[in-house]
């Protein structure tokens, strides 16, 4: 389950940030990925919401510190 | 219909969209890729690749600035990519957040240094000071007046900085206060938005400013979808980013309009488009059109839409795979048909492929294929035309004919910046041209034919009344246009008082009616000579000696003002080959040529002999001593 989420998430990051060198791991943070700024963050969240057909709460989006937490959020809804 | 925000009139993006984007090499491929229903991610990919290319030719460069009380960064990539869909290479600048007044008013600001061709002023209700008391009409009026005054100050500053201004209405706030009573109570968000919008629209009269009607756009999408509270709180994003692809497309439509890229002709397929069924198989009695069946009414609604477009100046044509006689029969005999033969300027029913027919239609009407919109229920025909003629607009249509009109109209092919008397009469003018073509063959010789037209040509310098139409001609004429220089309406206004310029607007009537303004000339004084900066003419009046009459007028005015030599220039644009030999044919002497194909010509004023013209001349320099 979590593997397939990682695969899909990785592709979304590559598409949105237009960078095929991205390889996400659980402890990847925004600082580790070139171009993952506040605007890109919103774009990523939107693309993720669209792909997984989920909707994140304002409280959840603001508090994310790494990819592992993002995956947990997705898992909680799918 | 389906979700408008998903641009359903555009075909879906190909599976390998991102790798196609990586491989794109010029503006034409960018435009092709942009002409799909792209989501935010795809728009971002396309915009990024467009930035990487050295040249986006043949897309039209345009500097667009966004000035907003909100975050607009997220709109920049969608605008760049959507611009390509409309033939534009947009260079977009987003003014920093929260500095609306400073950026517009300070001549040293980043916005003012950006040198924008146009500025989109996007303000929403949060920007303005709302009425101080609820239920107080005077307080609301004061708030609206203050808000409008603030908007007008901004608009004037931006205009004076040389930019076209796109002003936007405001969308009503997301939440009701009372509910159904809101519209009736002064001071509610809804009442304020409605009053502000009415006052804003009123204030546009007499200015060259353009309207982006966000209130209607957001209502079309649905306010509950348009507003997105989490996005607002997270990043001050003024409307849901899900709506950004559509919003960016709407802005691009207006900019394309400013650059004269509007479509002029709607070409309709017949079987299963204008009516249900196949007339060749089912017969006139068997086709479904008109009242009595849901399908028949759906097709009738498309006819109604086409007629409404015709009323506002869009020319109608037909392209159908049929025998001509069979295809015309429903137009002549079916009692429920709203469309009749006289509404159709060009009727192409034959067995040639549709691309060939569309080229013939454009040629007959003297317009480019990029001015055509082609509506056909058959996906194979649509694909063929998109492939053969990528500049023809071809909306995707769903299986249900009841949705055809919505796909056609929400695509916004026929955006306009103004509606003029010429527009109102255009459809009939093309009709008359059909009669003229027939006459031309029957007249024994050209001079007697031209005299039989009873033409009256009327010259006057640029003035306020003619200004919108002058701007329209300058920005739309491609074929009979010697230099293809585009000027904004603001530029044209300033020309009126420039004593170094000689300007002409030319109108023509004939026994078929008023052709309206059909030619525009601008000459610039240089020492004792005139340079013809702009000379263009509507192709409707080709081969009528109009250009000879215009030359007579230029030379007569030049003589009166002591000008020695008049210089003309042909600058090839790829679309104006028609006038390559214009100056040679008028008797100008060649005076040089450049590598890009530009040629220069001269005519000595003292040697010029006026022509005998097959028309009556009014308002000319020679009979008006004041000019």
Size of interface A-B (CB pairs under 8 A): 39
- Beta-carbon separation of B41 and A16 below 8 A: yes
Among candidate residues B267, B281, B386, B387, the one with its CA nearest the CA of residue B327? B281
Q: Please state, in angstroms and rounded to a whole number, the distance separating the CA atoms of residues B338 and B27.
A: 41
Whole-Å CA distances, B564 to B555, B556, B608: 10, 12, 11
* φ, ψ for residue B533, nearest 5 deg: -75, -40
Please tell me which residue of chain A has the smallest CA distance to B47. Answer: A18
Q: Which helix (H) or strand (E) holds B510?
A: strand B501-510
| Cβ-contact B579, B480 below 8 angstroms | yes
Q: Please state, in angstroms and rounded to a whole number, the distance separating the CA atoms of residues B325 and B478.
A: 35
With beta carbons under 8 A apart, name residues in chain A contacting B231. Answer: 42
With beta carbons under 8 A apart, name residues in chain A contacting B48. Answer: 18
Domains B265-410 and B444-623 share a fold: no
Q: Sign of torsion, CA B456 B461 B467 B469?
A: positive
- Beta-carbon separation of A42 and B74 below 8 A: yes
With beta carbons under 8 A apart, name residues in chain A contacting B235. Answer: 38-39, 42
Q: Which of A12, A18, A42 sits opposite B241 (nearest CB)?
A: A42
Residues linked to residue B513 through DSSP beta bridges, in sequence order: B510
- Beta-carbon separation of A42 and B231 below 8 A: yes
- Beta-carbon separation of B44 and A42 below 8 A: no
For chain B of 627 residues, list the mean pLDDT of each consecutive stretch of 10.
88 95 94 96 96 94 95 93 97 90 91 95 91 94 96 95 96 95 96 97 95 97 93 88 96 95 94 94 90 90 97 93 90 92 90 86 88 94 89 96 97 93 78 44 59 88 89 87 93 92 92 83 95 90 88 95 95 88 94 93 94 88 49
With beta carbons under 8 A apart, name residues in chain A contacting B234. Answer: 42, 58, 61-62
Q: Please state, in angstroms and rounded to a whole number, the distance separating the CA atoms of residues B578 and B302.
A: 36
Q: In the structure encoding, which two tokens stand for residue B373, read together? A: 């919109």
Contacts for B409 with CB less than 8 Å, ≥ 6 apart: B305
With beta carbons under 8 A apart, name residues in chain A contacting B74. Answer: 39, 42-43
Q: In the structure encoding, which two tokens stand for residue B622, read together? A: 């020679």
Q: Which of A15, A42, A62 sits opposite B41 (nearest CB)?
A: A15
According to the model, what pLDDT value does residue B577 have? 85
With beta carbons under 8 A apart, name residues in chain A contacting B237. Answer: 42
Q: Which CATH superfamily is domain B265-410 in?
A: HAD superfamily/HAD-like (3.40.50.1000)
Instruction: Give the closest-approach CA distance of B480 to chain A in angstroms.
Output: 44
- Beta-carbon separation of B233 and A58 below 8 A: yes
Q: What Rg do the C-alpha atoms of chain B give, in angstroms?
A: 26
- Beta-carbon separation of A16 and B44 below 8 A: yes
Angle at B373 between CA B370 and CA B375, to 5 degrees: 150
Give yes or no for A76 touching B (CB within 8 A).
Answer: no
> B234, B239, B242: which to substitute to probe chain A, counting the most A Cβ within 10 Å?
B234
Give yes or no for A4 touching B (CB within 8 A).
Answer: no
How many CB atoms sit inside 10 A of residue B286's CB? Answer: 12
Q: Which of A18, A38, A56 sits opposite B45 (nearest CB)?
A: A18
With beta carbons under 8 A apart, name residues in chain B contacting A18. Answer: 44-45, 48
Q: Please state, in angstroms and rounded to a whole number, the distance separating the CA atoms of residues B123 and B125.
A: 7
With beta carbons under 8 A apart, name residues in chain A contacting B229. Answer: 58
According to the model, what pLDDT value does residue B424 have? 82
- Beta-carbon separation of B235 and A39 below 8 A: yes
Instruction: Give the closest-approach CA distance of A21 to chain B in angstroms.
Output: 15
Domain B444-623 is found in CATH 3.40.630.30:
yes
Among candidate residues B16, B9, B79, B87, the one with its CA nearest the CA of residue B51? B79
How many CB atoms sit inside 10 A of residue A63's CB? Answer: 10
Are β-strands B88-94 and B164-168 bridged in parallel, bridged antiparallel, or unpaired? Answer: unpaired
Q: What letter does residue A30 receive in the DSSP assignment?
A: G
Instruction: Give the closest-approach CA distance of B46 to chain A in angstroms.
Output: 10
Give yes or no for A49 touching B (CB within 8 A).
Answer: no
Domain limits, chain B: 57-258, 265-410, 444-623
Domain limits, chain A: 2-77
Q: What Rg do the C-alpha atoms of chain A give, in angstroms?
A: 11
Instruction: Give the closest-approach CA distance of A8 to chain B in angstroms.
Output: 15
According to the model, what pLDDT value does residue B444 have? 47
Q: Which of B40, B45, B229 sits opposite A46 (nearest CB)?
A: B40
- Beta-carbon separation of A43 and B235 below 8 A: no
Give yes or no for A39 touching B (CB within 8 A).
Answer: yes
Residues B437, B443, B445, B449, Cα dihedral to 10°: -70
| Cβ-contact B228, B237 below 8 angstroms | yes
Please tell me which residue of chain B has the smallest CA distance to A45. Answer: B231
Q: Which residue has the tokens 């968000």?
A: B189
How many CB atoms sit inside 10 A of residue B101's CB? Answer: 14
| Cβ-contact B423, B314 below 8 angstroms | no
Q: Please state, in angstroms and rounded to a whole number, the distance separating the CA atoms of residues B173 and B311.
A: 35
Q: In the structure encoding, which two tokens stand for residue A21, read together? A: 């060198």
Give yes or no for A43 touching B (CB within 8 A).
Answer: yes
Q: Which CATH superfamily is domain A2-77 in?
A: ACP-like (1.10.1200.10)
- Beta-carbon separation of B237 and A15 below 8 A: no
Q: Please state, in angstroms and rounded to a whole number, the distance separating the CA atoms of residues B460 and B371.
A: 29
Q: Please state, in angstroms and rounded to a whole number, the distance separating the CA atoms of residues B108 and B102.
A: 10
| Cβ-contact B184, B191 below 8 angstroms | yes
| Cβ-contact B70, B122 below 8 angstroms | yes
Among candidate residues B328, B356, B163, the one with its CA nearest the CA of residue B258? B163
Encode pLDDT of A10-58 as tens digits. Answer: 999 999 998 889 999 999 988 888 888 878 888 898 899 989 999 888 8
Helices within B453-595 (DSSP H only): 467-476, 489-495, 546-560, 582-585
Instruction: Give the closest-approach CA distance of A10 to chain B in angstroms.
Output: 14
Class of CATH domain B57-258: alpha beta
With beta carbons under 8 A apart, name residues in chain A contacting B15. Answer: none
Q: What is the ipTM of this complex?
A: 0.85
3-state DSSP of B336-383: CCCCCHHHEEEEEEECCCHHHHHHHHHHHHCCCHHHEEEECCCHHHHH
According to the model, what pLDDT value does residue B434 have? 42
Residues linked to residue B113 through DSSP beta bridges, in sequence order: none
Q: Please state, in angstroms and rounded to a whole number, the distance separating the CA atoms of residues B568 and A72.
A: 72
| Cβ-contact B328, B348 below 8 angstroms | no
């Amino acid at each position: 389950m979590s593997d397939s989420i990682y695969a899909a998430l990785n592709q979304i990051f590559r598409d949105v940030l237009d960078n095929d060198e991205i390889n996400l791991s659980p402890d990847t943070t925004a600082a580790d990925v070139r171009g993952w700024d506040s605007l890109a963050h919103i774009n990523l969240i939107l693309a993720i919401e669209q792909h997984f057909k989920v909707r994140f709460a304002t409280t959840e989006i603001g508090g994310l510190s790494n990819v592992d937490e993002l995956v947990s959020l997705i898992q909680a809804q799918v | 219909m389906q979700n408008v925000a998903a641009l359903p009139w555009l075909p879906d993006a190909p599976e390998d969209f991102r790798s196609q984007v990586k491989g794109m090499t010029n503006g034409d491929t960018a435009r092709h890729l942009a002409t799909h229903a792209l989501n935010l991610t795809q728009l971002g990919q396309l915009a990024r690749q467009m930035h990487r290319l050295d040249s986006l030719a043949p897309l039209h460069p345009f500097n667009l600035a966004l000035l907003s009380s909100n975050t607009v960064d997220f709109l920049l990539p969608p605008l760049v990519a959507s611009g390509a869909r409309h033939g534009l290479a947009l260079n977009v600048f987003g003014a920093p957040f929260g500095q609306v007044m400073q950026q517009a008013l300070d001549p040293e600001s980043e916005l003012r240094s950006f040198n924008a061709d146009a500025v989109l002023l996007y303000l929403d209700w949060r920007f303005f000071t709302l009425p101080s008391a609820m239920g107080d009409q005077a307080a609301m009026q004061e708030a609206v007046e203050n808000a409008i005054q603030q908007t007008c100050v901004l608009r004037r500053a931006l205009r004076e900085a040389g930019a076209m201004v796109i002003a936007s209405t405001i969308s009503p706030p997301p939440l009701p206060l009372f509910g159904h009573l809101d519209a009736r109570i002064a001071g509610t968000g809804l009442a304020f938005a409605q009053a502000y919008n009415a006052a804003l629209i009123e204030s546009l009269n007499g200015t060259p400013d353009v309207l982006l009607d966000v209130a209607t756009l957001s209502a079309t999408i649905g306010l509950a979808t348009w507003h997105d509270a989490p996005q607002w709180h997270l990043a001050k994003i003024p409307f849901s980013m899900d709506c950004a692809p559509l919003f960016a497309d709407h802005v691009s439509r207006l900019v394309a309009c400013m650059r004269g890229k509007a479509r002029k002709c709607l070409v309709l397929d017949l079987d299963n488009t204008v009516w249900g069924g196949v007339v060749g198989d089912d017969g006139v009695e068997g086709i479904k059109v008109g009242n009595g069946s849901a399908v028949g009414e759906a097709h009738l609604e498309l006819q109604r839409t086409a007629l409404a477009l015709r009323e506002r100046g869009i020319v109608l044509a037909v392209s159908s795979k049929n025998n001509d006689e069979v295809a015309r029969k429903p137009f002549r005999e079916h009692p429920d048909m709203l469309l009749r033969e006289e509404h159709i300027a060009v009727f192409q029913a034959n067995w040639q492929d549709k691309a060939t027919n569309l080229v013939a239609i454009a040629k007959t009407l003297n317009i480019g294929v990029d001015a055509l919109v082609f509506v056909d229920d058959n996906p194979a025909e649509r694909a063929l035309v998109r492939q053969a003629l990528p500049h023809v607009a071809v909306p995707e249509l769903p299986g249900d004919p009841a949705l055809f009109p919505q796909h056609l109209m929400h695509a916004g092919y026929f955006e306009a910046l103004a509606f003029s008397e010429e527009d109102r009469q255009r459809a009939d003018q093309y009709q008359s041209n059909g009669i003229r073509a027939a006459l031309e063959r029957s007249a024994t010789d050209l001079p007697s034919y031209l005299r039989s037209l009873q033409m009256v040509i009327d010259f006057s310098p640029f003035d306020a009344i003619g200004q919108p139409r002058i701007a329209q001609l300058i920005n739309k004429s491609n074929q009979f246009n010697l230099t293809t220089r585009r000027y904004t309406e603001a530029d044209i206004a300033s020309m009126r008082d420039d004593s170094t310029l000689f300007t002409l607007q030319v109108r023509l009537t004939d026994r078929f009616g008023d052709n309206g303004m059909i030619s525009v000339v601008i000459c610039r004084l240089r020492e004792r000579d005139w340079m013809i900066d702009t000379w263009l003419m509507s192709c409707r009046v080709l081969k009528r000696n109009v250009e000879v009459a215009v030359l007579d007028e230029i030379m007569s005015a030049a003589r009166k003002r002591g000008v020695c030599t008049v210089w003309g220039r042909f600058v090839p644009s790829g679309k104006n080959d028609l006038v390559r030999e214009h100056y040679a044919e008028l008797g100008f002497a060649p005076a040089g040529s450049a590598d890009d194909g530009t040629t220069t010509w001269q005519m000595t004023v003292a040697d010029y002999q006026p022509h005998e013209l097959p028309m009556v001349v009014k308002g000319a320099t020679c009979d008006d001593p004041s000019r």
